[in-house]
Amino acid sequence: MNSDKITKAVLFSVSILILLLAAGMLYSLVGGSLPAFKTFGLRFIISGEWDPTYGREKYGALPFIVGTLITSFAALLISLPLSFSTSLFLGEYFRGTRVARILGILVDLLAGIPSIVYGLWGFYVLRPLLIDLGFGGQGFGIFTASLILAIMIIPYATSLSNEIIGMVPNDLKEAAYSLGATRLEVITTVTIPAARSGIVAGYILSFGRALGETMAVTMLIGNTNLVPDSLFDTGNTMASVIANQFGEADGLKLSSLIAIGLLLFLMTGVINAIGKLIIKKMN
């Protein structure tokens, strides 16, 4: 009996550890970013200036917040038709077939490719292709980064919506078929409405993934510290500016980078919480 109590206590304290870990992360990020917020106040979030010149240092996160949101939204839009078609392929049209199994494995492998390998491929294959197609300049920028990000987030949206689409009850679909509906009509009037919130949650979670992707974006976005004025402009995301500038950072600059990390942590946390909440509501 006594040993059972010990076992239970061990299990309990280990899960407390996870909570402490999360609390500690938040605490350290807040602590590390205090100097930046104390110096710049709210201007840190709304200012577009990033000037590391010693003596008149000014740091504002706006260019990176805007850069992150634009690249992630663009990536989401680009990936939408691809991942939606793929989840229909896997969960509806070819469900349970050998072809679907192989395709499913390949889509999963997309999630296994390291970010830096995506970056190399984007740099040496995709970027020259974009230049040849006349997308201007060196091929760096928000658009190129979004394109590679779109590929990277496909598996996250696909795996969830494919699962949800596969869970739509067959008798609902059969009822529609017996009324003479075509496959497309079954999909648009039965499958999609029944699976809607799951599909949306999948896209929200994949958007959350896009927000924090670092290496591939760093290698393709052009790394400029101004608020981008078009999709083909160069820029920086919150993750890429940390990766780029961390090596030479100390003092106020380091604190500003940690503050950007804190904002990123909060943004992805909120996005993920919304996604999970939708999934929870469904069950």
Partner 1 sequence: MESIDILKSQDHSSGRLLKDKLVLGAVIVLSLITISPIILIIWKLVVEGYRQISLDFLIENTPDTFEAMTAVANGELIPGGIANGIVGTLLMVILASALAIPIGILTGIYLYENQGSFMANITRDISDILQGVPSIVLGLISYLWIVKHITMGFSALAGSVSLAIMMLPMIVRSTEETLKMIPESLKEAALALGVPYHKVILRVLIPTGFSGLITGILLGISRILGETAPLMLTALGSSMINLDMTKPTSAIPLLIWEFYNDPNMVGLIWSSSLLLMAMILVLNLVSKQIVAKRR
Report how far residue 117's alpha carbon sits from residue 122's, in angstroms, rounded to the nearest whole number. 8
Phi, psi of 51 (to 5 degrees): -130, 105
* Least distance from partner 1 to the Cβ atom of residue 280, Å: 9
Q: Which is nearer to partner 1, 66 or 219 (CB)?
A: 219
For the bound state, the minimum distance from the C-beta of residue 147 to partner 1, rounded and expressed in Å, comes to 10
Cβ contact 218:118 at 8 Å: no
The letter for the amino acid at 133 is L
* Residue 90 vs 142, nearer CB to partner 1: 90
> Rounded to the nearest whole angstrom, what is the least distance from the CB of residue 71 to partner 1 in the complex?
13
CB of 82 to partner 1, least distance (A): 5
DSSP string, 180-231: T--HHHHIIIIIHHHHHHHHHHHHHHHHHHHHH--HHHHHHSB---S---ST
Q: By C-beta, is 227 or 249 nearer to partner 1?
A: 249
Cβ proximity to partner 1, 95 vs 230, nearer residue: 95
In 10 A of CB 99, how many CB atoms?
A: 11
Residue 122 buriedness (CB in 10 A; 0-12 / 13-18 / 19+): buried
Q: How far is CA 92 from the centre of its chain?
A: 26
Q: In the numeric block, which tokens belong to residue 214?
A: 């670092």
What is the smallest separation between the CB atom of 108 and partner 1, expressed in angstroms?
7
- Quote the strand ranges of the chain, DSSP E: 50-51, 58-59
What's the min distance (Å) between Cβ of 229 and partner 1?
26
Q: Which two tokens stand for residue 277?
A: 């909440």
* 198 close to 160: Cβ distance less than 8 angstroms: yes
Instruction: Considering the complex, state which of residue 7 and residue 230 has its C-beta at the smaller distance from partner 1.
Output: 7
CB of 230 to partner 1, least distance (A): 25
Nearer to partner 1, 142 or 151 (CB): 151
Q: Whose Cβ is closer to partner 1: residue 22's or residue 230's?
A: 22
Q: Is 67 exposed, middle or buried (0-12, 13-18, 19+ CB in 10 A)?
A: buried
